[in-house]
Structures are given as C-alpha cells and as structure tokens.
A and B are shown apart, each in its own frame.
Chain A
Amino acid sequence: CLFGNTFPRIRERFNESQQSSGRERRARKSLCLNRNPKILNPIPIEPIVLTVLTVIMPCEMIMLQLGQCGNQIGFEFWKKLCAEHGISPEGILEEHATEGTDRKDVFFYQADDEHYIPRSVLLDLEPRVINNIMNSEYKKLYNPENVYLAKDGGGAGNNWASGYSQGQKLYEEVFDIIDREADGSDSLEGFVLTHSIAGGTGSGMGSYILERLADRYPKKLVQTYSVFPNQETSSDALSSVGVSDVVVQPYNSLLTLKRLTRSADCVVVLDNTALNRIATDRLHISNPTFSQINELVSTIMSVSTTTLRYPSYMNNDLIGLIAPLIPTPNLHFLMTGYTPLTTAADTQAAIRKTTVLDVHKSLQRIRERKLAGFIPWGPASIQVALSRKSPYVKTAHRVSGLMLANHTSISSLFQRALRDYDKLRKREAFIEQFRKEEMFADGLEEMDDSREVVQRLVDEYQAATKPDYLTWGMQQS
C-alpha cells in the first residue's frame, strides 16, 4: 500500500479509527490499489485525521442482477441512471453535471471525487450476457470485483433445480461479494434483485439467494423486479419476444413464487405478456426487440426510484414508498403502469399538460364512477407524489406518470401459473431433469410445498376482496 510501507505511523493512525464509516473503509481500499511496495520518490503526505461520523445516512440500495434477464434489465437500468445523474459510461462525473443536489449515493458509491461506481453485483452461471456488458462502452463502469461468472460457464439449462443447487455450491463466493458491498455502505436500507422467474439462473439461483438474504440480513428490505414469462404460446403471440420456449417454465415459476412470497418484502411484477402487448398494440412495433422491451422496463425501474435519488420533501426512503402499499405482509406483489408509453424513437405520444387540480379532478372521477375497486376492510387511497426530473436528460414530455398498485387481480397471474403447473405435473412431464438435482432426488415434496404456498397466496388475494378479510386472516394463523 502507498501508506503501508513508507509511513508506518500514519497507517497506524489510519487503522486506529474503529468507527470508520463505510466511505472511509472503501477509501482505504481504493488507496491500496497500487500494490507495488517499491516507491521510488515518496511524496511527503500529511497525516489524515479521520473524523468519526455517527450519522445514519439512510437509504443506500444494493442491486443484485441475476441471470440473463436480470443482467439485461439491470444493464439498462444503470444506463438510465448514469444518464440522469450525468455520469459517463466510465463512471466519471461529466463536466456539465454541476447541479449537485441529486443523491447519487443511494445507488452509486463514490470512489473518489469524480468517480462513481454502481452498488451492483452481477451474477450469472453462463457468460453470454455479462460478456456483452463487459464488451460494451460501460465495461469500466462496474466494479470488476462485483462481477461473478461461474467458472463452469454452463448455465442452468433453464432448470430451477440446477440454478438452485449451483447457488448452494457457490454460496460462499457469492456472499463474499455481497457482504463486502454491504459492509462498505454506511447505512444499507436494502437489496434490489432483478431476475426472471421462468428460466434457470434468475429463478433457481435467485430463489436460493433470496432465502439466504432473509437469513443473513433479516433487517434489510428486499425488493425484487421480477419478470414474469410471456404466457402466450408461439401460435397466438403477436410477437416472438419472450414467448416461452422454456417448456418447464411453469415449474420454475412456481418454485420461485414460493420464495418471492416468503422471502421478499416487495415484488414489482414485470409481466412480459403485458409488455409485449403494449409494444405491439400501443406502440405499434410489429416485432419488438428485447432492447425495446427492456427500455420500458428500465424506465419503470428508474422512475420508481426517483424520489430516492433527488431531493424531495417526502418519500425519501424505500420504506416510505412501499409501506403504504403493503398493508398485510403476504400480499406484496405490485403492478405498474406508466405514461407516456414511448420508446426512444417515438416522440409522438402526447399527454395533456397536467396540473395539481387535474390530478384532483381525476381522483374524484375515479371515486365517483367507481372506476377502481378499493378494499372494504381498511382505509385505502391513492397517493400522488411529485418528483423532480433529471436536468441532464432531454425528454419529449414535460410530465410523466408512474403508477404502483397493489391489486388483487395480480392473483390471476398466479392462478395461471398454478394451472400450467398442474397440466405438466399431472403427467410428470419433463420432471427427469429436476430429479437429477439433489433437491428432487428423493422426491418432489418441494414442488408440492411450493404449490401449496402459491395456492394459499391466491386464496389470500381472493379473501382480500371481501369485508371479512381480517377475521379470515386471523383464523388462518
């Protein structure tokens, strides 16, 4: 280390600070990047006095990108965030980015004055997507120590069980990275997981990681952005994107849903079916590409974190955003809506200029005409939060809106998953590949258990539409 060999007394003082903050610990590490102990012309350095900050800086988030889909949408997300905060693809603050009041520290950590690094861990069992990222212009953005590619490189073969067992095998290495990242934060609020539930890595390994996160970090929030598979078959789909050619997708989905129910605090459902339909019907893209769909997804993800990343008078942390949406812990699956729906190329979609009064009138209309049904067993409402936009990103629209809703109709997705699962399970179709893995070697109880969890979830969503939901719930427990 630059300090270590030449100035032992300074290093002593450096190490003495017991209550060093995460930033200082990280600074210490970045100073040690030069591992060459031979310093020919030592520059005299003044001893640094480290001040001890006993301040809780809330709301740092660590993103875990898992599998092919998780890494793709994570990639788009970081692209967007860099643009919004004026950070170059190499992670350096751009010259024009002088506004200064935006809160980069929620999602980025600052390695030194101008250098910002995403708090992101990239995990995959096969190299294709991560290699694409590492060959793109954003290759220098991520912390290379946070990118984990399984040495095997064979992927999980769209098999949840394979993903899960590889997760078990790679547990220590993966959590070394996660723990290090968590340790380097001053005050971690929680984790954001991006993945799809239908494949092998994002679903299987994702499930394992969710369980371990709940064990190791019980007091941290775990939010997921989970891509649900396109339910259409190739014959009736209007586009070919995301159409399931993963035959075992129902098994994978169900097994993952159990973990999403039990071990996650909030799941933002990204429904590929709906996204595809939006792309084809609303945006008139005849064959939407993955990147166009992902563009929509990353928009939703970035807008849902806007109040965390800009100075705001309310909704300053993730809890504040989701707690009002989740009155009972199990029903934590949120759906999203966004307007205007355009892709980068399309600037035609027009939305009316809105004022606060317009919003109020719309709320009244919704209530009077009963356009949305609200729960009968407790107070419920629509909250409107206004937030700032990035000064560095030109948008065609002055105003945009994101909706996050906890709606009981989400259970239709789960019911469909149950139906599809039952169809396959009855005939024990494609079950062999699961039996090959340790978890199912002795039997399929895990699948049965997962089905039960999801069925109970569906029942609970059903019960929540009735006035006696609370007594129902108390009877269940």
Chain B
Amino acid sequence: MVVTSWISSKASCSGVERITLSRTKVLYKQLLAWLLQGNLFDPYEEFFIVPAQPGRGHTTPGLHPPSMTQEDTSTFKSKAKRYRLKAEMVPGHISLKLAEKIFFIGESIQLFETDRKLEVQGSVLRERETEVYEKLAALRDLREFRVVEFERFVDSVRETASRHLHSLLLERADLKEELWIARNFFFLGRGELFHTFISSADGYLEQAPSATTQHDVRQTFSAACRSILQDDEKITKKIKVNVVIPNGDESKVKPIGWKCLTLQYSVPWPLHLILSEKSLEDYNRVFQFLITVKRTQLLLHKMWALQKWRKAESFSFVSQLRTHMMFVVDNLQQYFMADVLETQFSVLLKKLDQSTNFEELRQAHDIFLTAVSTQTFIDNNAVAQCLNELLSVCLQFCRAIESNSEQSFSSSKAVSSLALIFSRQSGLLFQLLTSLRNHHSGSHLTQLLLRIDFNRFFSTHGHEVASIV
C-alpha cells in the first residue's frame, strides 16, 4: 500500500490522514519487531527489509556476509537469517541513510542474540527494551509522523547498539590480538619466521607449481612455525598457505610458485565484521608483494656472502651492481616495514584505543588498509609495475650469479643488459616517488627519498650504474 504525498484535494485530507495513520501503525509494528528483536514481522511483505535470497547480491553491506559458512568458525552458531535492505521499498519520508541505520540495528541485535555467552549483553539491551518500546509506542501514537523525532530516536538506539558491538569486538573478542596476528603473518611482522620459511621453500617455489607444491609448502610452513613460534598449533590451525594459480591467459608462461602463494586465514566470529573477506583479499595482495621484496632482499644478501666464499674480485662490475641493488632493496624494505607498516599499525592501535563505537572501529581499520595499500603502491599501477620489474631484475641477476662462475659472467652481455634494466628502473622509480611526494600527500615518502639519496649518489650518478665498467 503505497501512499503518495501529493494529494491535492483538501476534502480528502482527513481520509488520507486515516490511511496514513494506519499505514504508519503497520510500519511501527514492523519496526518494533525489527529494532527490538531483529525479527521480521511482515506477513504482507510491506517492509523495506526482506530476507535475502541466497546467491543474490546484497544491496547494502550487511553485518552477515553471504559467504559465512558454518565451517568457517567453530563458535558461530547463527540462527540469524540473512536479511537485506530493499531500497525500493523504503517509504518516501524515510531517507535511505535512516533506513540503513535501522537495518544496522536489527542486524546488531541478531548478532548479540547469536552469541550464547552473551547473556550479559542481551540483558543490558533488554533493560533498555522497555524504554525503547515506550518511546516507539509514543511516536506511533502521535497523529502525524514526526521525521525529526523519529530520526533522533533511531539514532539513539543505533548508538547503543554500536557501543555494545564495540565492546563485544574490542574486549570480548580481543580485536587487537587478532589484528596483531593478521599483521604478523600478512605483513611479515614475524620476520624471523618468514626468513626461515623463504630459505627453506625457495628451492621448489622458484619453479612453476606442480601437483605436490601445495602440500610441500604447507609442510614447510608448519615446520617453520614449529621451530620459531611458541603456540604454533593455534597458528597452523588458523593460517594455511595456499598455492593458487592466478587467472590469466593460457598462452602466458606459468607463474612460479612464489607468485601463487596466498594465505588462507580463518577469522573467528564476530571479528569478521572488521576482517571481512574483502579486507582479507587486500591483506593477501600486500602479502604477495611483501614476500617478493623479502625474498629478493634475502637473495641479494646471500650473493654478498657468496662473493666472499668464491673469493671473487671485490671491485668487479658484478660486485658493484650487486651493491647497488642491495642498497635499493634494503631501503625499500626499510620503507615498507618501518615507515609504512609499523607507523600505520601503531596509528591503528591508537585509534582503536580511542574509539567508542563500532563505526569508529570499522573506519579505523578501513583507513589502515587503505593507507597500507596506497603506501605500498599496490594500487598505483605505474609504481607497482616499476617496482615489480626492479625486483624481478634483481632476482634474475642473483640466479645468474648463483649458476655462473664470476669470471665469465662479469663480461657477459647478460649482466650488461640486466644492469641497464636495473639503472633504468631505479631511475624511474626515483622520479616517480619524487613526483608523488611533491604533488600528492606523499609525506610518508620523504623519509625514503632522504635515505635513498642520502649522499646524493642516486640523483647524480644513479643512471651511471651501467657504465661503471
């Protein structure tokens, strides 16, 4: 029953009034069920919140993602049916934003009800239930629909729900601890663990993945966890390494095992509200990139040691090129791990401490992920491509050194061409980063640029690497 508000005739006003009133009463009944219990009372399908059909996309980002299955978390025993907001059904006098707020409240209630241990939570809300009910009843009994007061009422209920959600996430579910774990693994916070892992797995992961690669990689990873971590069982249950061949055209060369690595991370309920599937995808993209930087760095360091073992000429072109490459990669690593990740993570933790409601939690985390993605250039195609080429040429160089004896290699065409590519890419990178720093809000780049060019060698002679011979 849709009543449009542009009825002109004054004679029919009282009739319209009565229709409006009865319609409003129905709306309030639906709201009551939804706001207090998170249930739908909508036999005639008039409400703007409807059960979500499985497989249909959500119109609004709800609190219960469609992909949450029973296997994902052992504690998640949800009797919550999935709901969604049907924007077309929202009455004209209620803004979409308000409707979303209402939707949020009901979902939160469902969330609280789901947690069996949440007796405390539930009862606190139940205390307010009478209050809420009375307020809602008071609004319903008014002759006309007071939008402003209604909005205010919704806001206050929403704030309560949001605050309870906040303490549920932060205190009871220990969101911070979870974020530490995510950071230690996706962002290589436990450097020594990944140092071990990379050294052990490099042998087979630098080739294209075979049928046994995933099994091997999981073995290596859990062995590394066992030797480095204290509570490795908890971790190995939670985090699994996957070898996923990325989609691409069939004609391309199969990517090496390293490029196919992803982390499968199980998020305990209710922390999926913050560490959503979409955010885990972002985490994985950064992980992929950071692993590449770290293994490049480790390989370059290995080449430094190799030079000593082979008693190679200290001043050969190969040595100097290696020194340059190591310098760049070391500085990049320092930038990513310290300037970006360490800084952003402590900003996140501070924000979490200062937050008071759920929205602030979610926002802090979103900002964190966005900042990390931006500052690691995952989203910046030009820089990302430059970086990937740079790292790739360093890796090629290292593999070539490993397999060749130095004398013949030094004068080969191969090393000259690698040197050329390297100096071009590093010069380009320097330019890109400088312009980013100058034109956009690139203050985080200032430290990197300062260090990488500290003795001004880079800016004056960087392009001359290839001409050292």
B135 within 8 A of A: no
B313 within 8 A of A: yes
Please judge, given known A-B contacts A311-B191, A314-B191, A319-B301, whether A328 and B314 are in contact too, CB under 8 Å: yes
A349 within 8 A of B: no
B315 within 8 A of A: yes
In the complex, the answer to whether A219 meets B192 with C-beta atoms within 8 Å is: no
In the complex, the answer to whether B301 meets A323 with C-beta atoms within 8 Å is: yes
Contacts of B323 in A (CB 8 A): 327, 378-379
Which of A103, A312, A324, A470 sits near B327, CB closer than 8 Å? A324
A144 within 8 A of B: no
In the complex, the answer to whether A265 meets B189 with C-beta atoms within 8 Å is: no
B44 within 8 A of A: no
Q: Which of B315-333 contact A (CB under 8 A)?
A: 315-316, 319-320, 323-324, 326-328, 330-331, 333
Contacts of A383 in B (CB 8 A): 330-331, 334, 451
Contacts of B450 in A (CB 8 A): 360, 363-364, 367
Stretch of A52-60, A153-161, A393-401 contacting B (4+ beta carbons < 8 Å):
A52-60
| A65 CA to B223 CA, complexed, in Å | 33
In the complex, the answer to whether A356 meets B334 with C-beta atoms within 8 Å is: no
Contacts of A100 in B (CB 8 A): 230
Contacts of A324 in B (CB 8 A): 326-327, 330
Q: Which of B193-236 contact A (CB under 8 A)?
A: 195-196, 199-200, 220, 223-224, 226-228, 230
Bitwise interface map of A from 54 to 82 toward B, beta carbon under 8 Å scored 1, else 0: 11111100000000000000000000000
| A327 CA to B188 CA, complexed, in Å | 27
Please judge, given known A-B contacts A381-B452, A473-B315, A474-B315, whether A103 and B192 are in contact too, CB under 8 Å: yes
Bitwise interface map of A from 453 to 477 toward B, beta carbon under 8 Å scored 1, else 0: 0000000000000000010011011
B20 within 8 A of A: no
In the complex, the answer to whether A55 meets B196 with C-beta atoms within 8 Å is: yes
In the complex, the answer to whether B324 meets A378 with C-beta atoms within 8 Å is: yes
A374 within 8 A of B: yes
In the complex, the answer to whether A381 meets B331 with C-beta atoms within 8 Å is: yes
In the complex, the answer to whether B314 meets A473 with C-beta atoms within 8 Å is: yes
Which of A54, A59, A382 sits near B200, CB closer than 8 Å? A54
Separation in Å of the A476 CB from the closest CB of chain B?
8
| A383 CA to B190 CA, complexed, in Å | 20
Contacts of B455 in A (CB 8 A): 374-376, 379-381
Q: Which of A97-113 contact B (CB under 8 A)?
A: 100-101, 103
In the complex, the answer to whether A379 meets B452 with C-beta atoms within 8 Å is: yes
Bitwise interface map of B from 11 to 49 toward A, beta carbon under 8 Å scored 1, else 0: 000000000000000000000000000000000000000
In the complex, the answer to whether B196 meets A328 with C-beta atoms within 8 Å is: no
B6 within 8 A of A: no
Bitwise interface map of A from 36 to 58 toward B, beta carbon under 8 Å scored 1, else 0: 00000000000000000111111
| A317 CA to B316 CA, complexed, in Å | 26
Contacts of A313 in B (CB 8 A): 187-191, 337-338, 341-342
Which of B192, B327, B446, B454 sits near A382, CB closer than 8 Å? B454
| A57 CA to B194 CA, complexed, in Å | 11
A244 within 8 A of B: no
In the complex, the answer to whether A328 meets B451 with C-beta atoms within 8 Å is: no
Separation in Å of the A456 CB from the closest CB of chain B?
13
Contacts of B133 in A (CB 8 A): none
Separation in Å of the A69 CB from the closest CB of chain B?
27
Separation in Å of the A361 CB from the closest CB of chain B?
10
Contacts of B200 in A (CB 8 A): 54-56
In the complex, the answer to whether A329 meets B307 with C-beta atoms within 8 Å is: yes
In the complex, the answer to whether A55 meets B220 with C-beta atoms within 8 Å is: yes
In the complex, the answer to whether A314 meets B334 with C-beta atoms within 8 Å is: yes
A386 within 8 A of B: yes
| A221 CA to B309 CA, complexed, in Å | 10
Q: Which of A56, A328, A329, A385 has the most CB of B within 10 A?
A: A56
In the complex, the answer to whether A477 meets B314 with C-beta atoms within 8 Å is: yes
B343 within 8 A of A: yes
In the complex, the answer to whether A379 meets B196 with C-beta atoms within 8 Å is: no
In the complex, the answer to whether A379 meets B301 with C-beta atoms within 8 Å is: no
In the complex, the answer to whether A316 meets B192 with C-beta atoms within 8 Å is: yes
Contacts of B316 in A (CB 8 A): 474
Contacts of A53 in B (CB 8 A): 223, 226-227
| A422 CA to B55 CA, complexed, in Å | 88
Contacts of A311 in B (CB 8 A): 189-192
Contacts of A329 in B (CB 8 A): 307-308, 314
In the complex, the answer to whether A55 meets B227 with C-beta atoms within 8 Å is: yes
| A476 CA to B316 CA, complexed, in Å | 12
Q: Which of B227, B326, B333, B455 has the most CB of A within 10 A?
A: B455
Contacts of A356 in B (CB 8 A): 338-339, 343
In the complex, the answer to whether A360 meets B327 with C-beta atoms within 8 Å is: no
A391 within 8 A of B: no
In the complex, the answer to whether A323 meets B326 with C-beta atoms within 8 Å is: yes
| A427 CA to B468 CA, complexed, in Å | 47
B304 within 8 A of A: yes
In the complex, the answer to whether B191 meets A367 with C-beta atoms within 8 Å is: no
A-B contact pairs, 10 of them (CB 8 A): A55-B220, A313-B187, A314-B334, A317-B195, A319-B304, A328-B319, A363-B450, A379-B462, A383-B330, A477-B313
Name 14 extra pairs, CB < 8 A, besides A313-B341, A477-B313. A55-B224, A56-B199, A100-B230, A101-B230, A311-B189, A317-B301, A324-B326, A367-B450, A378-B324, A379-B458, A380-B327, A380-B457, A382-B451, A386-B338
3 closest cross-chain pairs (CB), A and B: A374-B455, A473-B315, A381-B454
Binding site for A on B (CB under 8 A): 187-192, 195-196, 199-200, 220, 223-224, 226-228, 230, 297, 301-302, 304-305, 307-309, 313-316, 319-320, 323-324, 326-328, 330-331, 333-334, 337-339, 341-343, 446-447, 450-452, 454-455, 457-458, 462, 468
